[in-house]
Structure 1
């Protein structure tokens, strides 16, 4: 007898994946992947996967703690190797009901002192479509052991620089003709898992905001411009916004001197006829520990010098007084001898 199932494709539940507390990690941080079905994990058994495009198998089951109840996958101490794109899937019952694969979540882990820098040319966070874009990995040894990797908003996959979207020469990846699908997160990575800090790149067709690629250091000057494709001049007057609020209107550039943490936020520009640019997050970092240490060491050195001088001063003062007294005594003795000689000659 043929059994007909009334379970349609529309009835397949959807798994939802989220990351806590954040997706951008430093080595040693803790991170938890949380998988839920209809807002709950009760009664479901979960599987965890990484997603790549290196071969035809896009989903790779995690070998450790790959299944379990509770819907949580926790890494207590993140390492460089944990950088990747993750998805989850759930199942329950007999016969088994499977969910769809969940949404993807990118988890990025960097070291305390990244050994390599990511250089973007042109040096800005937003770029026009149909232009050339260069992404270069640069370390102190000028080595070629780095590969540019990215996670794009369109494909939601972790990709290395390849002929599909770019061409790698040494440690430089070149996109000959950018498209909106190139929008995403870019970084450098070695075979051993070392990584650079990540950079958000946005590609847009008409209006873009010229903003810095990397975080701005406290105390520096931040300059923002609104750029328009296929116009002359390239920079025109526009309104500038932060977190949705107008902060400066009808100007060719916005300059913020002495940047502080209060200036962090999402910025964009808007032209009344040509439209508005995408939003870019401007991040502000404090003065490096090395600079603070150097400044502290200079102050300590100065204090040591002053202390030494002050410690020696009493002895110097006493020496000067003794020399002065000796000179006066010698002067008086000489005067007495001179007077004595005069009296002797007079007699």
Structure 2
């Protein structure tokens, strides 16, 4: 803060500083008063006056100083599930009332000394090329061969530069199978009932080592995988009793920062789910959609009418509908109403699930990969190596 005495010159003056009308700095030979570093306790009204011998200047107008917490930007990624050839846009939002920010962009990598890191050292941050921009968005064009992983942003302004906190990491996922490891799920479906068990397996190929199971959820992060809901047998993590908060995106991550395919698991506390494959489906393969009741023995062969885009296409007495040869023409919205409504969207992007109460509206997005080489979407059936099931990270996200 600077105290300028109009018409009095700058020589031979001493300066007094007041905080909320209380004198706190009675004698300064320089017209500037610097607070460094600044804290929230420094917030208040400040005034100054000049003193030259027995001569006093008028007291200045009050200046209101407000010190706020160091802001944390919010990062969003679109799309968050990757299709080959897609461009990906990262957006970094800071307090909308402030301007003049420049933005830095990072990719998460395993912790390395010497690199900036998240506060808990769960990840280090590798700057992206040309990572400082005046725009609040950054586009990966094309996304490249290995874009999956976590991303972080930070903003700064002023001279010297005042930086915000790092954003919480957001993740870019792909359902494509990795050449070194595959995350498999047993039972092989994206939807599960509460109280059932679920096994997740990082199945390795060749000499791959160091892969660990991770997850991203809407709960606070990071945390260890609680022993209360899992048991570990070599390369398998088993959640012995599912709850709705067990839902999340799961993947395997290597010590070098590689990512396996990701799987979006949703746990339903209702009475009906629609079972669909976890892994991508190659064009030309068959897909079976199964309506499953929690108490199946009371309705072992439910009569089910399947609709596509509002048009009845099949009457099934087994509760199943099979699409024998998947193609782009199969994209659309499917539903069956045995007391509830289930809509299915076949796209080329993602396997996912959303349950909406109280109508038990279950939306599932099945990945239909239009790849002609069927071998690209094969599923590993037996591990060539074994790993321990390690830390499971639970992380915040506005939407999964």
User: TM-score w.r.t. structure 2 length?
Assistant: 0.55
Map 1:84-233 → 2, pairs under 5 A: 84-92=149-157, 105-108=170-173, 114-141=179-206, 145-152=210-217, 154-155=218-219, 163=227, 166-206=230-270, 207-233=272-298
Distance change in 2, residues 1:269/1:203 (3 Å): farther
**Root-mean-square deviation (Å):** 4.7
Q: Distance in 2 between matches of 1:110 and 1:224?
A: 19
Say yes or no: does 1:46 pair with 2:103: yes
Conservation of the 8 A alpha-carbon contact between 2:107 and 2:127: no
Which structure has the larger Rg? 1
Secondary structure at 1:195 match in 2? coil
Distance change in 2, residues 1:68/1:245 (3 Å): farther
The structure whose residues are more often helix, as a share, is: 1
2:127 pairs with one of 59, 64, 70? 64
How far did 1:186 drift?
Answer: 1.9
How far did 1:134 drift?
Answer: 0.3
Secondary structure at 1:64 match in 2? strand
Secondary structure at 1:278 match in 2? strand
Partner of 1:338: none
Partner of 2:368: 284
How far did 1:61 drift?
Answer: 7.0
Aligned length: 288
Q: Distance in 2 between matches of 1:174 and 1:123?
A: 14
Q: Distance in 1 between matches of 2:66 and 2:303?
A: 58
Say yes or no: does 1:35 pair with 2:100: no
How far did 1:125 drift?
Answer: 1.4
Map 1:230-269 → 2, pairs under 5 A: 230-233=295-298, 235=300, 236-240=302-306, 248=314, 252-265=319-332, 267=334, 269=336
Gaps of 5+ in 1: 293-347
Conservation of the 8 A alpha-carbon contact between 2:200 and 2:237: yes
Moved more, 245-254 or 119-128: 245-254
Distance change in 2, residues 1:291/1:211 (3 Å): closer
How far did 1:210 drift?
Answer: 1.1
Q: Distance in 2 between matches of 1:247 and 1:53?
A: 50
Distance change in 2, residues 1:144/1:135 (3 Å): farther
Distance change in 2, residues 1:62/1:165 (3 Å): farther
Q: Distance in 2 between matches of 1:224 and 1:248?
A: 12
How far did 1:283 drift?
Answer: 2.0
Q: Distance in 2 between matches of 1:228 and 1:101?
A: 45
User: TM-score w.r.t. structure 1 length?
Assistant: 0.62
How far did 1:71 drift?
Answer: 2.1
Distance change in 2, residues 1:193/1:291 (3 Å): closer
Secondary structure at 2:245 match in 1? helix
Distance change in 2, residues 1:240/1:202 (3 Å): farther
Secondary structure at 2:76 match in 1? strand
Gaps of 5+ in 2: 1-18, 21-43, 46-63, 112-117, 342-358, 377-400
How far did 1:205 drift?
Answer: 0.8
Secondary structure at 1:130 match in 2? coil
Distance change in 2, residues 1:243/1:107 (3 Å): farther
Moved more, 237-246 or 272-281: 237-246
Q: Distance in 2 between matches of 1:143 and 1:59?
A: 22
Distance change in 2, residues 1:143/1:97 (3 Å): closer
Secondary structure at 2:362 match in 1? coil
Say yes or no: does 1:17 pair with 2:70: no
Q: Distance in 2 between matches of 1:53 and 1:271?
A: 48
